[in-house]
A and B are shown apart, each in its own frame.
Chain A
Amino acid sequence: MPKLSYLRALNRALGDEMERDPAVFVLGEDIRLALTNTTTGLLDRFGPQRVVETPLSEQGFTNFATGAALAGLRPVVEYQIPFLLLLVFEQIANQANKFSLMSGGHTAVPVTYLLPAAGWRSAWGAQHSDEPYSMFPHAGVKTVVPATPADAYGLFTSAIRDDDPVVVFAPIAALGLREDLVAADLGPVPLGVGRVHRPGRDVTVVAVGHLVHDALAVADELADQVSVEVFDPRTLYPFDWDALAASLDKTGRLVVIDDSNRSCGIGAEVLATAAEEMRLIAPPKRITRPDGAILGFSPELDLALQPSRQQLATAIQHVVKDGG
């Protein structure tokens, strides 16, 4: 089997779910021609009733998807640009995600929101470079950020099958990743279950999305000094707190690397929960974008605002030293 790319994994998961369940359909902008490559070949396979090209009308078609879900379908809505999730935050957090409770459990809204372009791409400017995944856990919306092609396939599949709204963030920096996979490797990955990519004894590094690969690289670099465990939560909400606690029971030291802005990012939640409830023998650290970061047009400035391997290596060395 040839190597499977992250993008192709998303495309394959969507096609497989549409094949499996006639209630699944996809809507969004430029999806007939598969501008983002996630819908490649689907129009020919499934036709325009299941690959629904929309005008630029995000608030309208996000609520439209909620309605279709109330009527029994399983919409997958694609957004091209991170800020569009800010534009439709109300429609996801205040509409779709509240219908189960507001109806007293009489209905469900099984919509999947796919953002196959989360984060920074060089020189695309201040309004195309956000990483808004931490907003959704705050609002109680299920949120996944797959780091690998197999997890992209598996988490996207589970998101589509889930009866609640789920937002799928696919980081731009991970889209080109390829993995040697056989068909048997592809299957649903349950929501809310983290993954230890590399076991270690001294420090737990919680890494989100594409930063998992940076964490693995740093762990390799530091292998002769410190034994680093790399933990990928995969789902930010619901978070796999039990698995994090098990890791910290072993290491007692925590560093988080997270592409969110610093205030109220998921890294803050991980540190707070670990500090309140888990075993820590040294003060934890987090590496994030700065507060209110605006990544603009200049690559030098933008890179300076993003979490780096050097920052991670330094933080790991600090928590090891602090812990004695």
Chain B
Amino acid sequence: MTEPAQPLPEDLYRTIRLIRRFEERAIDLVRSGDIASGIHPCIGQEAVAAGLGAALRRDDIVMANHRGHGHLLAKGSDPGRLFAELAGRLTGVARGRGGSFHPSDFSVGVFGSTGTVGHGAPMAAGVAWALARAGSDRVAVSIFGDGAVSQGALLESLNLAALWKVPVLFVCENNGYATTLPVETAVAGTITGRAAAFGIPAGTFDGMDPETVFTAAAEGVARARAGEGPTFLEFSTYRFDGHHTFEHVTRLRYRDEDEVAKWRSRDPLGIQGGRILAGQRQRIDEEIEALLDAAVQFALDSPRLRPAEASDYLYATGLQVRGGVADYA
């Protein structure tokens, strides 16, 4: 497969706009009850997904996390099938079994989104090691937040990846908070210092600018493809919304308004929108709205799951298990 070309400014804008409006509409669907429980919105962080997605080939692999809708969309997931997943419908990317928390989309190389923070990193390393062992030049990417960087399993994966020169990218979206915990009160030393300790090239970049993200990611991908091993990228970013939509109800206060306003002034939508013509921007916005109208409709028109299907796919071998009550037949 050929390497992705430098993305056009309008293409990066389109991805950011798609993710932003997807998330806003997903929040509407949480409010209407069509998406049960809620989501972890990535509003504000779209530039990381957009720049990273543009640097990857379709056959590269991503292990995302709980704030992962943007990663799937940037990797090429169909918005209708992703909405359907969030709404627990059969047509979802994971047939409604992953939900917002654990979506995977094997049709575009997103192998999963684990809820155990940081534990996707060793999995991504394992994926990448297996791909390289098979003689391929595909790479794998693990995407995690600042909350993951002190997890033992993640640090163990840095060691394994460096030891074995695994073609993996470790991508940290540092949005400043692990749920409510400020990064300054959680991380001793630095985030990139962790990677440096294992001899992994690491850098910190502006995560609000998708072109910066693309350039940094493309360099890491090139190193991995050339057999030079892992790269660690920290992107400074910010989520404009809550950790989870439950914050719309609980109204936890852990960030002051000045801080939020400062980051909002660097909205990736504005940064990338400023690089294209107004007319172009308007056309893309309209195109995205039409796409998402159809996507939401597709999801809501899709069949719901039936209770009899609860144990389907529990085992890859199709093993049938006992139910929760004894069979008196």
Contacts and interface: CB of A to CB of B under 8 A. Distances in A.
Interface string A82-109: 0000000011001100011111111111
Interface string B114-130: 10100101111111111
The size bracket of the interface on B is 35 or more
Interface string A103-137: 11111111000000000000000000000000000
A238 B126 contact: no
Contacts of B312: 105
A55 interface: yes
A70 interface: yes
Nearest to B326: A276
A70 B157 contact: no
Contacts of A297: none
A68 B129 contact: yes
A277 interface: yes
Interface string A7-32: 00000000000000000000000000
A63 B126 contact: yes
Interface in B226-274: none
B160 interface: yes
A55 B157 CA distance: 11
A42 B314 CA distance: 34
Interface string B286-329: 00000000000000000000000000111111010110001100
A95 B123 contact: yes
Contacts of A68: 126-127, 129-130
A63 B122 contact: yes
A63 B157 CA distance: 9
B163 interface: yes
A323 interface: no
B76 interface: no
Contacts of B313: 100-101, 103-105
A60 interface: yes
Contact of B160 (A54, A66, A72, A107): A54
A200 B249 CA distance: 65
A55 B163 contact: yes
Interface core residue of A60, A67, A142 (most chain B CB under 10 Å): A67
A227 B105 CA distance: 57
Interface in B103-160: 104, 106, 111-112, 114, 116, 119, 121-131, 133-134, 140, 152-153, 156-157, 159-160
B171 interface: no
Contacts of A65: 126
Contact of A238 (B94, B160, B319): B319
B207 interface: no
Nearest to A57: B156
B316 A164 contact: yes
A164 B152 CA distance: 26
Contact of A107 (B106, B124, B130): B106
B327 A71 contact: no
A105 to B, nearest CB: 4
Nearest to B142: A67
Interface in A58-81: 59-73
A104 B95 contact: yes
A67 B129 contact: yes
A162 interface: yes
B106 A106 contact: yes
Contacts of A314: none
Given A70-B112, A105-B312, A55 B159 contact: yes
A71 B126 CA distance: 8
A104 B317 CA distance: 13
Given A70-B123, A238-B321, 12 more contacts: A55-B163, A59-B153, A67-B111, A67-B122, A70-B127, A72-B134, A100-B313, A103-B98, A104-B96, A105-B316, A106-B94, A163-B316
Interface of B: 61, 63, 92-98, 102, 104, 106, 111-112, 114, 116, 119, 121-131, 133-134, 140, 152-153, 156-157, 159-160, 163, 312-317, 319, 321-322, 326-327
17 contacts: A64-B157, A67-B140, A70-B126, A101-B313, A101-B314, A102-B94, A102-B102, A103-B94, A103-B104, A104-B92, A107-B104, A107-B112, A140-B321, A163-B315, A164-B319, A241-B322, A277-B326
Pairs of residues from A and B, 5 with the lowest C-beta to C-beta distance, nearest first: A67-B126, A60-B156, A104-B95, A108-B316, A71-B130
